[in-house]
Amino acid sequence: MSVFTDIAGAFGNATGASPVEGGYLVGFIFLFAIFIALVFLLRDSDNGGSVLMIVGIAGSAFNVLVGWWPIWVIFLIFLVVALLLVKPFGDKGE
């Protein structure tokens, strides 16, 4: 076991959940903390959106590499982002 699985297990035990659910929550809290810090730092920047996307991808990859999230979560995030960018169900007239 590594320190990251210990953190997920401890967080899961503290919240009354399993270590897997603790890993999901710790990974989400990690990304949320990074995003809040970057939004505060980049509030006057013109290219803040692209920086947030790059950091979000890197943070999600970190969560998968340390074992807090399974690999399919990355694929699900990419699918949702692709659908948001392409807008397959949006209005064609605008």
Render pLDDT for 22-62 as a digit per residue (tens, 0 to 9).
Answer: 999 999 999 999 989 888 888 887 877 778 888 888 999 99
Percent of the chain residues past pLDDT 90, beyond the cut: 44
Length of the chain in terms of residues written: 94
pLDDT at 86 over 60: yes
The DSSP secondary-structure symbol of 22 reads H
Distance CA 38, CA 57 (A): 14
Cα 49 off chain centre by? 15
**Tokens in use for 27?**
């990974």
17: Cβ contacts below 8 Å, ≥ 6 apart: 25
Mean pLDDT for the chain? 87
Distance CA 41, CA 37 (A): 6
